[in-house]
Amino acid sequence: MRRLATLFSIVMIGVIAIWYANVHENGEYQGQSQMSMLQQQALDEVMAEDLSLTTSMFIDQLKNQLLRWSEQDFTNGELYEQFQEELRKHNHFEAFAVMNNDKVEKMAGNIHEKDLQKLTHSFNGLDSSDPYMKDGNEYMLVGCSTDEGKQVLGEVNLSFVKKYVRDLAHVVDANGNLFIGGDEAEVEFEGEGIRPYGATKEVPELGWKIRVQSEARELDDHEHFVEHEAIISFVDGINGGEWIKSSPLSLVKNGGPYYVVRDETRTTDQLVHELSLLEEIETVEPNYFYTKQVNEPFLRRHGEMVPNDEFYEPYQWNLSQIFAEIGWNITSGTNDVPIAILDSGVDPDHEDLEERILMGYNAFKDDGEFFDEHGHGTHVAGITAAATNNIIGIAGVSWANPLLPVKVLNEKAEGTAFEVAQGIRWATDNGAKVINMSLGDTFNSKIMHDAIRYAYKKDVVLIAAAGNDNVETPMYPAAYEEVIAVSAVDNNRHKAIFSNYGNHVDVTAPGEHIPSTFPDNAYVMMSGTSMAAPHVAGLAGLIRSIKPELTNTDVAEIIRSTATDIGPLGFDPYYGYGEINVVKALQALKNY
């Protein structure tokens, strides 16, 4: 059986709406046109609805956690100690109790019978209290009933939630649930300094109302570059970071071979001219703004293209690390270069994918029913080419390349060489220019290799995950010479602890704590070489979007030769030729 090339530590992403954002003293929106206010208010309506629904999801997760805990056997001393430790480490719950006829039957923490009087709100099977203070912190009680008619109670630390959401940090609870606070809006409870603009939505489970009131940001139409900044690269032999440290310049951002530097004492023209005279500097230019004709607004930061997707800025470090933000100034993909996702299928109705998805294939049933019953394939698809700059969800490596879903893994994320081979051939015959395979095993299947050769001869770019056993043993199809094998790194460009390695590895890409799409309009975070591979597939799609005439050999060579060399100098078994570099790969196309 094929083993799924991902770690099975799934982290659900949500947005907590229990936010206490500070209210600006000035209640007016300065510098905005009437039209931009109306547009922003419309966006506020969408976000407020998202927040209220997601808060409901958060409450459901708390409820489910209580019900799971209610099934534990507290008469077993060892199990009870384990539960006490879990509760102590839990990021939301401070106490837990099971009540039977208003009497405490099971207890962890500190809840009493009298606390039942605090449960003044009831909605859809969930009871809750108003927030209350205790020992300088703010808490609330939530409760629900079991099938046996008992009442389960949990005390939730709201101070913890408030702190981490306001700091835009993330927290993971004992079940791996990750909750995210966005940074594009102010959210507050109804009645706290309301402006004339914004949107209010109710969270019925708690009797709360949340209000979103964003400030639209506009670029100066006359700005062409960031004043006082320049982008530079250095000649061979110069350590750019050390050189900048010894100079009067301040480092804004390290972009691999490129550095954004700033000097408040000089104009951009002066800065560019003076830097161009230095023998250590290879190239220098202003940190230009680039504009494209898009329907939705996006933010430019230091010459980069920053999409407005909800989870991009706080959590998608992975795309910044491979310099996608700069590369998107060159291309964000085209709709005539399909990327096939050979996996457990894809959710065709996901809000962040539905515009990208073509008609697909089910290799088990030999039909077009490709719905994802597991979730892995939907996650992989989102990394590759989720709808981007659409306010919701995440950004994909490609913004425009269509996705060709090919179901070769079942509801357990398992399949055979036959299904994989069938999927490869079907994708090849149905227009795929790139195929991603976030799957594999150590078995060298001839039938699968024959399908790989078939696709390769048809000029398809083939990409596969290297595997997650932290061993040198080759995993197939990644180890086939026709396939680009991808290992995984973390946000420090260190080899991910789980990632396989070996001389068959071609390149590496981010693969640890990667947020992406999940069935039923959800978003999850996963880790694995399964997550690294679709970054490379997205890049291959971008390359072929600019130069469709390039052969698959050309594309592979560009990806390898432009990778950022990390680890030991030159090719090595842990990182291959290095971490993929979107901007360098796309810039290299000028020479083809």
Q: Centre a 10 Å sphere on the Cβ of residue 147 and count the other Cβ atoms it contains.
A: 7
* Sequence-distant (≥ 6) Cβ neighbours of residue 572 within 8 angstroms: none
Q: Which pairs count as long-range contacts for 85-93, CB under 8 Å and 24+ apart, including other chains?
A: 86/174, 89/174, 90/173, 90/174, 91/160, 91/171, 91/172, 91/173, 91/174, 92/62, 92/156, 92/157, 92/160, 92/161, 92/173, 93/62, 93/65, 93/154, 93/155, 93/156, 93/157
Chain centre to alpha carbon of residue 426: 29
Answer yes or no: 147 catalytic: no
| Catalytic, out of 56, 487, 530, 545 | 530
Map tokens 């077993």 to a residue.
Answer: 76
Residue type, position 133, single letter: M
Chain centre to alpha carbon of residue 351: 15
Tokens of 212: 């979103």
Chain centre to alpha carbon of residue 186: 22
The answer to whether the beta carbons of residues 452 and 480 sit under 8 Å apart is yes
* Sequence-distant (≥ 6) Cβ neighbours of residue 270 within 8 angstroms: none
Q: Centre a 10 Å sphere on the Cβ of residue 367 and count the other Cβ atoms it contains.
A: 11
| Catalytic, out of 127, 173, 343, 352 | 343
Helices (H), 396-460: 417-429, 446-457
Answer yes or no: 530 catalytic: yes
Chain centre to alpha carbon of residue 354: 17
Strand duo 403-407 + 361-362: pairing = parallel
CA-to-CA distance for 153 and 146, rounded, in angstroms?
Answer: 11
Q: Which pairs count as long-range contacts for 422-425, CB under 8 Å and 24+ apart, including other chains?
A: 422/363, 422/366, 422/451, 423/340, 423/342, 423/361, 423/363, 424/342, 424/448, 424/451, 424/452, 424/454, 424/455, 425/451, 425/454, 425/455
HEC profile of 365-380: CCECCCCCCCCHHHHH
Tokens of 144: 């629900």
The answer to whether the beta carbons of residues 397 and 323 sit under 8 Å apart is no
CA-to-CA distance for 167 and 352, rounded, in angstroms?
Answer: 26
CA-to-CA distance for 536 and 516, rounded, in angstroms?
Answer: 15
b/e per residue, 81-101, with b = 16+ CB within 10 A?
eebeebbeebbbbbbbbbbee
| Catalytic, out of 90, 170, 376, 379 | 376
Answer yes or no: 343 catalytic: yes
> Where is 128: in which H helix or E strand?
strand 126-128
Cα atoms in the 13 Å half-sphere on the side-chain side of 65: 26
Q: Residue 428 carries which DSSP code?
A: H
The answer to whether the beta carbons of residues 343 and 407 sit under 8 Å apart is yes
Map tokens 């400030």 to a residue.
Answer: 215
- Please list the active-site residues: 343, 376, 530
